[in-house]
């Protein structure tokens, strides 16, 4: 799978399967609507892709909130920008969350949705540390990732270890079997003891 330079087939799959079908299904909508958001929060969406989650979040954040989408793929972030251009409470950043530009301690929530298992092994801890640093001390990370062999390289113990080393504490979690994705881990993390 190439996010930087998707093939014709990958573009069609994203457009039809992800954006038109999955994104509108309860698999996405029910999860996002359950997030404890009042609508006025600042949310950072890591690996937002073409906007399959962002399209719902931007509407939830309509009471003075703001959504910041970040993705390393220029193709997918441009796609999301084009799809969601009518909203004024959303911004799109193409690049690495570790680069200067996103202020520390400025977000109420970080959402990581089906994205972290695509991060290269040697960068995972560094990127997780950076995401943690973007949270306010009352902030929360919501992470939803496929964890079994089908979903590849991100076992739940690795997620927990990355979070712990980044200063984040698991406060809730669930496991679900989802068609196409296998077993999916849904974790909730809070910032631990930051002054
Ligand atoms: C499968 S898509 C998920 C898109 C969306 N979150 C969803 O759930 O439909 C994974 C996205 O993560 C992005 N991604 C992978 N590594 C990344 C990184 N280090 N920083 C930001 N985005 C990354 C990819 O470019 C891709 O758009």
Report pLDDT digits (tens) over 92-147.
999 999 998 899 999 999 999 999 999 998 999 999 999 999 999 999 999 999 98
**Where does 14-108 have alpha helices with state H?**
26-33, 54-60, 74-83
Q: Which two tokens stand for residue 132?
A: 């943690």
Q: Which two tokens stand for residue 153?
A: 């390289």
Ligand 1: nearest atom to the Cα of 123: 19
CA 124 – ligand 1 centroid, Å: 13
Q: Give per-residue burial for 74-88: e unless 16+ CB within 10 Å, then b.
A: ebbbebbbeebeebe
CA 118 – ligand 1 centroid, Å: 7
Whole-number Å distance between alpha carbons of 147 and 37 = 26
Mutate to test the pocket of ligand 1, among 11, 17, 71, 153 (most ligand atoms within 8 A of CB): 71
3 state SS of 24 = helix
**Nearest Cα to Cα of residue 26 among 187, 178, 185, 183:** 178
Would you say the CB of residue 70 lies under 6 angstroms from ligand 1? Answer: yes
Q: Do residues 112 and 142 make contact, with C-beta atoms less than 8 angstroms apart?
A: yes
Ligand 1: nearest atom to the Cα of 22: 9
Whole-number Å distance between alpha carbons of 110 and 131 = 7
Which pLDDT score is estimated for 40?
Answer: 98
Which pLDDT score is estimated for 139?
Answer: 97
Half-sphere exposure of 99 (CA within 13 A, CB side): 8
Whole-number Å distance between alpha carbons of 80 and 49 = 7
Whole-number Å distance between alpha carbons of 107 and 73 = 22
Q: Which has more pLDDT, 62 or 194? A: 62
Which pTM was predicted? 0.96
Mean pLDDT, the chain, rounded, equals 94
Break the chain into its structural domains and give their ranges. Answer: 8-191
- Second-level CATH architecture of 8-191: 3-Layer(aba) Sandwich (3.40)
Would you say the CB of residue 184 lies under 6 angstroms from ligand 1? Answer: no
3 state SS of 72 = coil
Q: Give per-residue burial for 134-163: e unless 16+ CB within 10 Å, then b.
A: bbbeebbbbbbbbbbeebeebbbebbbebb
């Amino acid at each position: 799978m190439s996010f930087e330079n998707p093939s014709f087939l990958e573009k069609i799959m994203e457009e039809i399967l992800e954006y038109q079908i999955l994104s509108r299904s309860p698999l996405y909508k029910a999860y996002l609507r359950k997030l404890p958001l009042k609508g006025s929060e600042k949310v950072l969406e890591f690996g937002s892709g073409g906007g399959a989650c962002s399209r719902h979040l931007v509407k939830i954040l309509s009471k003075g909130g703001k959504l910041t989408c970040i993705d390393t793929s220029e193709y997918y972030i441009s796609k999301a920008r084009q799809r969601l251009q009518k909203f004024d409470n959303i911004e799109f950043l193409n690049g690495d969350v570790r680069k200067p530009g996103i202020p520390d301690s400025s977000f109420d929530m970080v959402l990581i949705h089906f994205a972290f298992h695509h991060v290269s092994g040697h960068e995972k801890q560094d990127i997780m540390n950076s995401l943690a640093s973007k949270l306010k001390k009352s902030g929360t990370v919501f992470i939803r990732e496929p964890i079994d062999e089908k979903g590849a390289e991100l076992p739940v113990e690795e997620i927990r270890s990355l979070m712990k080393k980044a200063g984040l504490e698991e406060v809730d979690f669930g496991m679900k079997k989802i068609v196409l994705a296998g077993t999916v881990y849904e974790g909730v993390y809070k910032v631990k003891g930051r002054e």
